[in-house]
Every structure is written in C-alpha cells, then in structure tokens.
C-alpha cells in the first residue's frame, strides 16, 4: 500500500466515524426531514409540513435510527387523526416507546400502538422521536398511515448495532441489562478501526 493510499483510507475511516458523531438521524420509516442544525427545533426538527406518508403497521412497528451519541435516552409519541400536529398536540400525545441505549449507530426502537385509542387501519398519524444524547433534546418525525399489514413496510430494517435482538429489547419502560452488557463489544469494535489503522502504519514503515 502506498503512503497516499494509507492516508486516504485513514481519512475515510475518520470521516465515517465523524459521520455518526453528530446527533442522530431517523432512517426508517422515512423522516419528514433531516437538517442537523435544526434538529433541536420542536416538534419535528425544523420541518413543519407533511410532504409524504409511509404505511406503518398497527403491530410490530418500529423506528430505526442512526445515533451519533453513544449513550442516549429517547421517547416516541404518536398523534392520530391530526393532519399536522403541533408541539402542544405532541405534548398530549400517547407515548408508544421510551428507553435508553448505551451504544452508537443503528438502533431499532420498537413501537407498540396497542394502547393507542383511535389507532386503526387507515388512520393518519405522526410519530415523533425526542432524543437526548447529552447535547439537548432533538426531534424527528415520520408521517404515516396506519395499516394492518403494509406490504411496503420493511421489517428487515430493524437492526441493533450491538447485535442484540430488537424484539427482545422491546420493553417500553427503558433499557435492558443485556443492552448494557453488549455495549462493550461495540466499543471494542470501534477501537478496532483505530487498531487497524495503527497496524497499517507499522506495515508501511517496516
Ligand atoms: Cu448531538
């Protein structure tokens, strides 16, 4: 490997790490919009109008996020039968998921709509994530239409970066102990990127 090649790869690895170091992103279902600088703006991260609705299942739904913060708390609220809920509407909305995660990157946040009155097939709803990774509350929303078994909903998008079973961490009351245990593996994996870079440097100088 050439010296230039090594620096290019190192730069790419660092860029990839920096890419997930900033706040978080709703990756599934489709976010109403993402602008990192406006993510602190309630209720939907600076996006105040509905542009697209995804079909969302009444049972077995989830919000998939990519977190830049290693430790964070989150809450998912839903408001039904409102074309474009306001901050006040969300304040009186129904909490459908809540907890914390001790690892960065991909996380599947299961959403249980069974306790939501007015949630039935054909209902329009907006799901709001509030997230705090230590630098303030951050917002993302997804506009959906609730559906019995939407063929367009891709359940394979539900993945946890720590390798834990997303369906096993579906408790709505917070983080589970096995998540804490698994986080060490993720930190070791992130450290591995740097170990690989150092190993490459030794190879070049040898
Ligand atoms: Cu942040």
Give the pLDDT confidence of 58-77 residue by residue, as tens digits: 999 999 999 999 999 999 99
Interval 42-63: pLDDT, tens: 999 999 999 899 999 999 999 9
Q: What would the two tokens of residue 148 be? A: 């019995």
Instruction: Please tell me the distance between residue 202's alpha carbon and the centre of ligand 1 in angstroms.
Output: 34
pLDDT winner (highest mean) among 1-10, 42-51, 167-176: 42-51
Question: What are 203's two structure tokens?
Answer: 């190879």
Question: How many residues appear in the chain?
Answer: 206
**pLDDT surpasses 60 at 199:** no
CA of 114 to the centre of ligand 1 (A): 31
Structure tokens at 130: 């509030």
CA of 160 from ligand 1 middle (Å) equals 19
Structural domains of the chain ordered from first start: 23-184 (2.70.50)
Strands 72-80 and 94-101 turn out to be: antiparallel
Digit-coded pLDDT (tens) for 177-197: 333 333 333 444 444 444 444
Report CA(17)–ligand 1 centroid distance (Å). 14
With DSSP H G I counted as helix, E B as strand and the rest as coil, what are the percentages for the chain, rounded to 5?
30, 30, 40
Note the pLDDT of residue 8. 52
| Per-residue pLDDT band at 4 (split at 50, 70, 90) | low
- Mean pLDDT lowest among 35-44, 90-99, 134-143, 187-196: 187-196
Query: The pTM is what?
Result: 0.74
Specify the higher pLDDT residue, 177 or 136.
136
Strands lying side by side in the sheet with 54-57 = 54-57, 137-147, 124-132, 72-80, 94-101
How far apart are the CA of 67 and the centre of ligand 1, in A? 9
**What is residue 170's predicted lDDT score, i.e. its pLDDT?**
46
Residue 138 is inside which H or E element, if any?
strand 137-147
Question: Which candidate, 23, 59, 61, 45, places its Cα nearest to that of 157?
Answer: 61
**In whole angstroms, what is the distance from residue 190 CA to residue 31 CA?**
27
Residue 68 CA, ligand 1 centroid: distance in Å = 7
Averaged pLDDT score across all residues of the chain:
81
User: Which conformational region is residue 42 in: left (phi greater than 0), alpha (psi within -120 to 50 degrees), or beta?
Assistant: beta
Bridge partners for 92 per DSSP: none
pLDDT band at 2 (very low <50, low <70, confident <90, very high): low
Question: What pLDDT, on a 0 to 100 scale, did the predictor assign at position 167?
Answer: 78
Q: Evaluate if residue 136 carries a pLDDT over 50.
A: yes
């Amino acid at each position: 490997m050439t010296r230039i090649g090594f620096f290019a790869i190192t730069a790419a690895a660092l860029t990839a790490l920096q890419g997930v170091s900033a706040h978080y992103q709703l990756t599934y279902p489709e976010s109403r919009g993402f602008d990192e600088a406006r993510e602190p703006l309630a209720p939907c991260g600076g996006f105040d109008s509905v542009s697209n609705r995804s079909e969302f299942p009444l049972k077995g739904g989830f919000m998939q996020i990519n977190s830049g913060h290693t430790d964070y708390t989150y809450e998912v609220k839903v408001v039904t039968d409102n074309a474009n809920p306001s901050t006040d509407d969300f304040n009186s909305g129904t909490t459908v998921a809540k907890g914390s995660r001790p690892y960065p990157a991909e996380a599947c946040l299961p959403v249980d709509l069974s306790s939501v009155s007015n949630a039935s097939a054909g209902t329009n709803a907006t799901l709001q994530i509030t997230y705090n990774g230590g630098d303030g509350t951050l917002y993302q929303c997804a506009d959906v239409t609730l559906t019995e078994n939407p063929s367009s909903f891709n359940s394979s998008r539900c993945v946890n970066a720590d390798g834990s079973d997303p369906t096993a961490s579906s408790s709505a009351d917070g983080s589970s102990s096995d998540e804490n245990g698994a986080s060490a593996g993720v930190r070791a994996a992130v450290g591995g990127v740097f170990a690989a870079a150092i190993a490459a440097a030794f190879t070049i100088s040898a």
